[in-house]
Structure 1
Amino acid sequence: MYKYIISKRSLATLRETVAPKEYGGRFIVTLIPGDGVGKEVTDSVLSIFAAENVPVDFETVDISGNDAADKVNAAVESLQRNKIGLKGLLHTGAAGETDHGSFNVALRKRLDVYANVAHFKSLPGVQTRIPNVDLVVIRENTEGEFSGLEHESVQGVVESLKIVTRAKTERIARFAFDYAKRHGRKHVTAIHKANIMKLGDGLFRNTVAEIGAAEYKDIETSAMIVDNASMQAVAKPHQFDVMVTPSMYGTILGNIGAGLIGGPGLVAGANYGREYAVFEPGSRHVGLDIQGQNVANPTAMILSATLMLDHLGLTRHAERISNAVHEVIAEGQTTTRDIGGSASTTEFTKAVIGKLASAQ
């Protein structure tokens, strides 16, 4: 059994499929709890899945400790076996804080899960300054500023290489347009800095425009410079529908999107490739400052897990859990402190399980 993550069209246009492992009616999924509050929010998912009798068994790989780099290899091997993963965020310190690069980037590049999708949509029950936000950021995961190619050519001079290729830009552009078509969206905006980086970002902007004009005439295509897009997203977010971006710009706009709808604890996310799919919160906040306090909002991780269930074809479970989460938030009686409540992670989880039980 498998489910297409992109509409079925010719192989020449790089449409991807993922075939998850299923044994005896149950799926085996790789679980990477992550750092910070990762274990707390993935434990929330485990509790909800158990209460809902979801036919998913997790193979857990904990990437932490002094041998974390070796565990990345174990995580990659697990994902290669299982095809599908649920992942918390992994902490990457600044220069001098850690002696390794980003494990998040390493996993994406090694598995070639090239398309990151995050949907920023206002939730009933969460008070924000701008209501009715509904925009999608689709980010290229494997090149751009996050290519990881840096060196010190001479002492005190560092060169950091930004890689942009036509092939990978065409791939992410088609993914974004296909996503728009599948979800009834009408407008794709390419985010760039081609006024300064005329070759690299110029290639990205022009390639997206060419793909749109040639293959997706029913979808409006535009382009916007990243600094202007950041301002416009804060001031007038309703003008955006789907934004397609190189790696770093997507991270920036994703954090803006999280701020618009109430914080990083609310944003689900997914990473797709030809062979693998990895689901994780859509905003890059590990939560080291609240680790171990049982106050983290598990909504982003739970909703990421429902995206995974939908991807596996377990649509009924996905709908029930997603509905239960949204009902608890809308009622506002058992919400976490990041969105104005006082409930703990555990209390929020129990409230979701209670909603599921009452909806039987």
Structure 2
Amino acid sequence: MHNVTLIKGDGIGPSIMEAAVAVIDASGAKINWHLAEAGLTAFEQTGTPLPEATLASIAETRVAFKGPLTTMVGEGFRSINVELRKTYDLYANVRPAKSWNGVKTRFENVDIVIVRENTEGLYVGLEHYLSPKKDIAESLAVITRAGSERIVEYAFKYARDNQRKKVTVCHKANILKFSQGLFLNTAREVAAKYPDIEFDEKIIDAACMHMVMKPEQFDVVVTTNMFGDILSDITAGLVGGLGLIPGANIGADAALFEAVHGSAPDIAGKNIANPVAVMMAGVMMLNHLGEHEAAIRMQNAIEKVVNEGIYVTPDLNPASTTGTKEMGLAIIAAME
């Protein structure tokens, strides 16, 4: 029996998480769910977006399964995702993007994994105003050798463990010679220890261009925090959107699995939200827990339903009247 903290989240979170939990429970994996709150819902109920009870639950289980949380733009509380990554040192953000036979896009056979450094760079939030009038702001991007080394090591180990052939490091060391230069030089040192894995370097802007022109040249991509955030949205676009992309946040002794899309409050409660992203995050979680047979069973069922394109939500098939809950039931039936 595995103990997992369950955070249903805001907006469409409760509906897609309930569908995902039902599928995970039907997969054969034995999960003891610890329900916890976070985000806007928690803020409205308790006055804090990240209650101590939630932090205590994750500290105990060391594994969290999370729906989308609402983050206010330009005001209000900081991103809970960022806070959770910092609190539990979840340094590796892993987002696989793979083509689906049942989802028509501009490209076929895309299979890219973005490995993004999760605790450094601009997203550490070290920023302040430089004038009393608040008309000049400064943000600091922090890059360390230790942080760079462990994320590149993770990328190469991931490639080796998952029979991947190539790791590409994306950087901006041609301009940011100190911070990005440190990241690139550290990546080169780590790559030398993995002669069985092909190593490639790309400047970030060129990488974006190549990714939308010839995505098949990429396999595993490792990069710094903000660049990884941008690249993972590009790869999502290549395969059909964020509604199909799972995310994992991995640390030395804790992990968080989530959908990477927003909380979509405009469609909350309408039973039309696509649950695939968070279900695929559930597959990643099962693999992390060692429940490999259940993970394969669940992934095969999700792929079968999505590729058939019948019992899917309207965003995947505009002619469909299948809801979130019904799609989950179809996936459970496919497992049986």
TM-score by length of 1: 0.87
Sequence identity (%): 42
For residues 293-337 of structure 1, give each alpha carbon's deviation from its aligned partner in whole angstroms, at most 9, with x where no partner exists.
211110111111121112212222211111111111111111112
CA shift, 1:176, in A, is 0.5
Specify the alignment match of 2:6 in structure 1.
31
Q: Which residue of 2 aligns with 1:210?
A: 189
Q: Any gaps of 5 or more consecutive residues in structure 1?
A: 1-25
1:170 equivalent to 2:149? Answer yes
Q: Which runs of 5+ in 2 are unaligned?
A: none
1:298 equivalent in structure 2: 275
CA-CA distance at 1:58 after TM superposition: 0.8
The correspondence of residues 179-258 of structure 1 with structure 2, limited to 5 A, is 179-213=158-192, 215-258=193-236
1:53 Cα offset (Å): 5.1
Q: Which whole-Å CA distance do the structure 2 matches of 1:80 and 1:216 have between them?
A: 34
CA distance in structure 1 between the partners assigned to 2:304 and 2:273 by the alignment: 18
Cα deviation digits, residues 51-93 of structure 1 (max 9, x gap): 4453101111121233363634332221110011111122222
Residue in 1 that maps onto 2:77: 100
CA RMSD, 1 decimal = 1.5
Distance, in Å, in 1 between the alignment partners of 2:55 and 2:249 is 14
**In structure 1, what is the Cα distance between the partners aligned to 2:49 and 2:96?**
32
- The answer to whether structure 1 residue 147 and structure 2 residue 124 are counterparts is yes
Distance 1:181 1:346, change over 3 A: same
Q: 1:202-351 to 2 correspondence within 5 Å?
A: 202-213=181-192, 215-281=193-259, 283-341=260-318, 342=320, 343-351=322-330
Secondary structure of the equivalent of 1:338?
coil
Q: Decide whether the 8 Å contact of 2:115 with 2:223 is kept in 1.
A: yes
8 A contact 1:270–1:280 mirrored in 2: yes
1:71 aligned counterpart, secondary structure: coil
Distance in 2, Cα, partners of 1:70 & 1:340: 35
The alignment of Structure 1 onto Structure 2 pairs a total of residues equal to 328
Partner SS, residue 252 of structure 1: helix
1:85 to 60, 64, 69: 64
SS of alignment partner, residue 148 of structure 2: helix
Supply the distance in 1 between the matched residues of 2:25 and 2:169 (Cα, whole angstroms): 41
1:289 Cα deviation from its structure 2 partner: 3.0
The reply on whether 1:44 has 2:22 as its aligned counterpart is no
Of residues 28-37 and 161-170 in structure 1, the stretch that sits farther from structure 2 once superposed is 28-37
Secondary structure (helix, strand or coil) at the match of 1:355 reads helix
Q: 115-124 or 348-357: which moved more?
A: 348-357
Query: Conserved in 2, the CA contact under 8 Å of 1:263 and 1:338?
Result: no
Could you say what secondary structure the match of 1:107 adopts? helix
The TM-score with structure 2 as length reference comes to 0.93
